[in-house]
Chain A
Amino acid sequence: MSDLKSTGPQTADAPTPEDAFHEVAALEAKDAQEDIHDERVKGPVLAADGTPLKRSLNRALRMQKMRAMMLIAPLLIFVLITFIFPILQMLWRSVENEIVSQTLPNTVIALEQWDEKSGELPPEDVYAAFVKDMKVAVANKTHTKLGTRLNYEQTGLSSLFRKSGRKIKKWDPETGGPFKEKLIKVNKGWGDVTTWQTIKLHSSPITAGYFLNAVDMRLTPDGVAMQPENKQILLKLFGRTFVMSLVITFACIALGYPVAWLLANLPARSANMLMILVLLPFWTSLLVRTSAWKVMLQQQGVINDTLVWLGLVDDANRLVMINNQFGTIVAMTHILLPFMILPMYSVMQTIPPSYLRAAKSLGATNWTAFWRVYFPQTVPGIGAGSILVFILAIGYYITPEIVGGTKGVFISNRIAYHISSSLNWGLAAALGTILLAVVLILYWAYDKIVGIDNVKLG
């Protein structure tokens, strides 16, 4: 029975070598079973050239798979090298922290004996180990790099390492001691317990520090704590990014639905015209469209000028429509609209108009016919469009940067800042990882609620 089942689904389709393979396998399994029953010896089914059919089919199948693999290999390799690998590398940066233990190996070992909660400075052997490590680091010019890394955790360490490096260069770690007094004399930062606490806390080669920073928290000697209130910004930005992306998605549904309906139902000639109107902005450069919105929305811009000219708005109280959330929502809705319209259109096109007519002839009002018959059939299109628009929106960078002012910027603007300005790539990677995880979770949730099979992209 079971052998029939395995070939069952395929028999509905056109036969393929795989079907044959399954059938042969099933037959042979059956043979084997029969062999046990009655000791009859039966040779395997042979192909024309005398090899067992199973093996020759296997070979044919393998060849076919190889050929298929070779066809998609360029794409696969391209995606691996340019997409998967960099992403994995970036994700790794969010926890990687080898710089401290590599630059100060002896100090890190010496610090293990020191109790960071005691409130006392570490003993002389830590200082001696530190000078030894620094001597090597200065020769390799890695001490300034370490200073930059630790400065993310404690302000001031960057210049502490840079300045002290110049002095330590001239010392002899073997005979120059004792170093405790000497270092504190060079810079009183070395007489500060928090400096050593920071080094010890962030000495492990794998750190959760970046992820904590990414959600406005930090490592302290007493465990994990929230950042001071006046430095908390990232959670707020995450929240804003999601809320605004949702608003943009809904705005796109509301604006795109009627357009998609028109596209699907107008006569071909006017529908084509309309399609060009939808696609034209889609093909225009993103920067150009964003800048155009700037010209439209600013206080001395086209819309305000028209409203003032019409007398609807007082010249002194021109509307503020840009450099805020409103500006970002308007510009991004416009830019992302085609991503909503196109999947909705392709779904609506496949809905036969006779369904609506049938509903009406059975006594449905216009609204009931639309809401109970037409709308449910368009849900896959709305779903596909919403996923596209939402995922694009939460990662958007350039439009919020240009029209968002201070209250309309997204988390991606912060990621860009940490990548290109502050160079805190670990934090940027942690923020990016969180964003990626959230997208995957949302995708999973969508699959659970709506079902990803119900999504049609065209």
Chain B
Amino acid sequence: MKIKTIAALAVTTALCAPSAFAGEMANKITAVSWGGAYQKSQIRAYAEPYMKMHPEVEIVWDESSNEAVAKLRAMAEANNITWDIVDVVAADAIRLCDEGLAMEIDPDKDLAPAPDGTPASEDFGDLLVSDCFIPQIVYSTTFGYRTDMVGDTPPTSVCDVFDLEKYPGKRSLEKRPINNMEWALYCDGVAKEDIYDVLATPEGQDRALKKLDTIKDSVIWWSAGADTPQLLADGEVVMGSTYNGRLFSLIEEQKQPVAMLWDMQVFDLDGWIIPAGLPEDRLARVKDFVRFATDTQRLADQAKYISYGPARKSSAPLVGKHADLGIDMAPHMPTDPENAKNTLLYNYEFWADYRDDIDAKFQAWLAQ
């Protein structure tokens, strides 16, 4: 009896579904991402399969994640939100949530459980760093070096970046304090677990800048993720920091004489947020999309196209080979045990507070 009812219900739902939902869900999604190889991986892993399931849906991409926070704020002030789903780093998601520009989500209700039934909140675990944030990938900021410019003893520690005698030549670092200050303190002898306590004090900040002073004249400061790969390819720098996915394509796809230095890589997260204040029909569609796009299989699929680790625990065993190159992707993941021997996790709370203060000091130091 009961089974019959359920079956009947299922059938009616299935039959009614197209007509019932057609009026409630918008057929267009404006998704915002970073462009380049990363956006391509999202299109291939989530957007194309979704559009195959729902041929009536059109997904439009906007490459504005770089300025997403500022643009969303401007849209909210103009009361005209044109984006449906936005890919941002976790720190930006926290700020958007703080400003009330992103919608809060309930992971267990809005996101799909793992195939074995584990609720999403457990599957994502600690990576749900904000109430509005739906994590997709774990990436890291780490170093790459020219194998032909370091002699017979390739660097093994992040502190080799600060060693001008052993590795002369230029290095590229990001033109902002985040990550650089942590590496400087670590190489100045601060224990890993004390880094943020030290960095919270003015003395600690001065100490980090003093350490950076030792290599300041040999640093090229980058502001776009593509800068370091280009500088490495041109032989302008011996080593440089950037996102691990960029280095992967430089090494494996463009076959440049560059190798990874995984030591003290800084883990960070990237994921979706849904802007606050979307109309009902668009919200329904985007919720449907995001539930699909962040399920276990889709996150694992993304790793076929780019070397970023899936944010779900249940996706890790499903990571396979690169779709075009045919190489095993697991050893290229920042989360691979071999690569993750010594890592640092981006401290969101700390940088939300200290970002402006330390940035002013850092920029003043740079201008000296």
Q: Footprint of B on A, CB under 8 Å?
A: 141-142, 144-145, 147-148, 151-152, 155-159, 162, 227, 230-233, 236-237, 298-300, 323, 401, 405-407, 414, 417, 419-420, 422-424
Contact A406 B367 (CB under 8 A): yes
Asked if B51 CB lies within 8 Å of chain A CBs, one says no
Contact B98 A144 (CB under 8 A): yes
Asked if B215 CB lies within 8 Å of chain A CBs, one says no
Interface size on B, residues (CB 8 A): 34
- Of A145, A231, A414, the most chain B CB neighbours within 10 A belong to A231
Tell me how far the C-beta of A145 lies from the nearest C-beta in chain B, rounded to whole angstroms.
5
**Interface code B326-368, partner A: CB below 8 Å = 1, 0 otherwise?**
0000000000000000000000010011111101110111110
Beyond A148-B95, A151-B353, A323-B220, is A420–B67 a contact (Cβ under 8 Å)?
yes
Tell me how far the C-beta of A143 lies from the nearest C-beta in chain B, rounded to whole angstroms.
9
Asked if B61 CB lies within 8 Å of chain A CBs, one says no
Contact A420 B69 (CB under 8 A): yes
Report Cα–Cα, A417/B70, bound state, in Å. Answer: 10
Beyond A158-B98, A298-B234, A299-B236, is A236–B367 a contact (Cβ under 8 Å)?
yes
Tell me how far the C-beta of A170 lies from the nearest C-beta in chain B, rounded to whole angstroms.
16
Contact A423 B95 (CB under 8 A): yes
Contact of A422 among B98, B221, B235, B359 (CB under 8 A): B359
Report Cα–Cα, A152/B365, bound state, in Å. Answer: 19
Contact B98 A231 (CB under 8 A): no
Report Cα–Cα, A406/B69, bound state, in Å. Answer: 25
Report Cα–Cα, A422/B355, bound state, in Å. Answer: 8
Note all chain B residues with C-beta closer than 8 A to A406.
175, 221, 366-367
Tell me how far the C-beta of A68 lies from the nearest C-beta in chain B, rounded to whole angstroms.
33
Beyond A158-B352, A420-B66, 13 additional contacts (C-beta under 8 Å) are A151-B353, A155-B353, A155-B357, A156-B354, A230-B361, A230-B365, A231-B357, A236-B367, A299-B170, A323-B221, A420-B67, A423-B73, A423-B99
Contact B70 A401 (CB under 8 A): no
Contact A151 B356 (CB under 8 A): yes
Note all chain B residues with C-beta closer than 8 A to A156.
353-354
| Minimum CB distance partner of A229 in chain B | B364
Report Cα–Cα, A158/B91, bound state, in Å. Answer: 13
Note all chain A residues with C-beta closer than 8 A to B69.
420, 423
- Of B67, B70, B221, the most chain A CB neighbours within 10 A belong to B70
| Minimum CB distance partner of B219 in chain A | A406
Tell me how far the C-beta of A424 lies from the nearest C-beta in chain B, rounded to whole angstroms.
7
| Minimum CB distance partner of A142 in chain B | B100
Contact of B364 among A155, A159, A233, A401 (CB under 8 A): A233
Asked if B80 CB lies within 8 Å of chain A CBs, one says no
Report Cα–Cα, A122/B69, bound state, in Å. Answer: 36
- Of B66, B221, B364, the most chain A CB neighbours within 10 A belong to B364
Contact A155 B223 (CB under 8 A): no
Q: Can you name 11 A-B residue pairings with CB atoms under 8 Å?
A: A147-B98, A148-B99, A158-B353, A230-B364, A237-B367, A406-B175, A407-B367, A417-B359, A419-B70, A423-B69, A423-B95
Report Cα–Cα, A299/B223, bound state, in Å. Answer: 19
Contact B100 A144 (CB under 8 A): yes
Contact B100 A422 (CB under 8 A): no
Contact B99 A144 (CB under 8 A): yes
| Minimum CB distance partner of B276 in chain A | A141
Contact A155 B206 (CB under 8 A): no
Beyond A151-B356, A230-B361, A236-B367, is A145–B98 a contact (Cβ under 8 Å)?
yes
Report Cα–Cα, A143/B180, bound state, in Å. Answer: 31
Report Cα–Cα, A159/B100, bound state, in Å. Answer: 15
Beyond A144-B99, A300-B234, A423-B73, is A233–B353 a contact (Cβ under 8 Å)?
no
Tell me how far the C-beta of A288 lies from the nearest C-beta in chain B, rounded to whole angstroms.
15
Beyond A158-B353, A420-B69, A424-B356, is A145–B361 a contact (Cβ under 8 Å)?
no
Note all chain A residues with C-beta closer than 8 A to B70.
419-420, 423
Tell me how far the C-beta of A253 lies from the nearest C-beta in chain B, rounded to whole angstroms.
28
Contact A159 B349 (CB under 8 A): yes
Tell me how far the C-beta of A455 lies from the nearest C-beta in chain B, rounded to whole angstroms.
35
Note all chain A residues with C-beta closer than 8 A to B359.
417, 422
Note all chain B residues with C-beta closer than 8 A to A420.
66-67, 69-70
Contact of A231 among B220, B235, B364 (CB under 8 A): B364
Contact B352 A298 (CB under 8 A): no
Note all chain B residues with C-beta closer than 8 A to A424.
356
Note all chain B residues with C-beta closer than 8 A to A145.
98-100
| Minimum CB distance partner of A165 in chain B | B98
**Which 9 A/B pairs are nearest by Cβ-Cβ distance?**
A144-B98, A155-B357, A233-B364, A406-B366, A420-B70, A231-B360, A141-B100, A159-B353, A420-B67
Report Cα–Cα, A417/B66, bound state, in Å. Answer: 12
Report Cα–Cα, A237/B368, bound state, in Å. Answer: 11
Contact B236 A298 (CB under 8 A): yes
Contact A233 B363 (CB under 8 A): yes
Note all chain A residues with C-beta closer than 8 A to B354.
155-156
Report Cα–Cα, A142/B364, bound state, in Å. Answer: 32
Report Cα–Cα, A293/B131, bound state, in Å. Answer: 45
Note all chain A residues with C-beta closer than 8 A to B363.
233, 414
| Minimum CB distance partner of B99 in chain A | A145
Q: Which of B161-178 contact A (CB under 8 A)?
A: 170, 175
Contact of A401 among B73, B223, B365 (CB under 8 A): B223
Note all chain A residues with C-beta closer than 8 A to B234.
298, 300
Report Cα–Cα, A16/B181, bound state, in Å. Answer: 73
Report Cα–Cα, A232/B67, bound state, in Å. Answer: 26
Tell me how far the C-beta of A359 lies from the nearest C-beta in chain B, rounded to whole angstroms.
50
Tell me how far the C-beta of B348 lies from the nearest C-beta in chain A, rounded to whole angstroms.
10
Note all chain B residues with C-beta closer than 8 A to A232.
364
Note all chain A residues with C-beta closer than 8 A to B95.
148, 423
Report Cα–Cα, A420/B356, bound state, in Å. Answer: 13
| Minimum CB distance partner of A406 in chain B | B366
Report Cα–Cα, A406/B98, bound state, in Å. Answer: 31
Report Cα–Cα, A158/B363, bound state, in Å. Answer: 21
Contact of B356 among A141, A155, A227 (CB under 8 A): A155
Tell me how far the C-beta of A286 lies from the nearest C-beta in chain B, rounded to whole angstroms.
16
Report Cα–Cα, A158/B69, bound state, in Å. Answer: 17
Report Cα–Cα, A345/B78, bound state, in Å. Answer: 45
Report Cα–Cα, A299/B231, bound state, in Å. Answer: 10
Contact B235 A300 (CB under 8 A): yes
Contact A233 B220 (CB under 8 A): no
